Amino acid sequence: MIYRHFNAPARAFTQFSHDIIRHPRLSSDAVRLLTWQLSLPRGARESLSRTAERARIGACAFGRAKRQLKEEGFVHERRVQVAGGRWVTQQLISGSPLTAAQAAKLLAREPVASSQVAPGPRKPAVGQPTSPSADGHPKKDPQEDTSDLPPQADAVEESPRLEEARALVGALPALSPALRHVPPGMHAELTRLAARWLDTGHTPAEVHEHIRRGLPPVGTPVHHPGGLVRYLLRDVPPGPAPVPAPGNRLSPRLEGARECVGSHTQTTLFRPVGDETLCPRCVPSTRS
C-alpha–C-alpha distance, residues 187 and 176, integer Å:
17
Strand 75-81, strand 87-93: pairing: antiparallel
Closest CA to 195 of 166, 170, 174: 166
Report long-range pairs for 246-249 (Cβ below 8 Å, ≥24 apart). none
Within 10 angstroms of residue 8's Cβ, the number of other Cβ atoms is: 5
pLDDT score recorded for residue 131: 61
Q: Where are the alpha helices (DSSP H) in 39-183?
A: 48-54, 59-71, 100-109, 153-157, 162-170
Q: List the pLDDT tens digit at each of the 288 positions of the chain.
A: 777 667 777 777 777 788 888 999 999 999 999 999 998 888 888 889 999 999 999 989 999 999 999 999 999 988 887 777 788 888 888 889 999 999 888 888 876 654 444 444 555 555 666 665 555 555 555 544 444 444 544 444 567 888 888 999 999 988 888 888 899 889 999 999 999 988 888 898 889 988 988 888 877 888 888 888 998 898 888 877 665 555 555 566 667 777 887 777 777 787 787 777 788 888 765 444
Model-level pTM?
0.38
Closest CA to 211 of 227, 200, 199: 227
Q: Residues with Cβ < 8 Å from 69, sequence gap 6 or more?
A: 26, 30, 33, 34, 75, 93
Q: Is 68 exposed, middle or buried (0-12, 13-18, 19+ CB in 10 A)?
A: buried
Q: Encode 239-257: b = buried (16+ Cβ within 10 Å), e = exposed.
A: eeeeeeeeeeeeeeeeeee
Phi/psi for 81 (5° steps) reads -100, 135
pLDDT score recorded for residue 41: 86
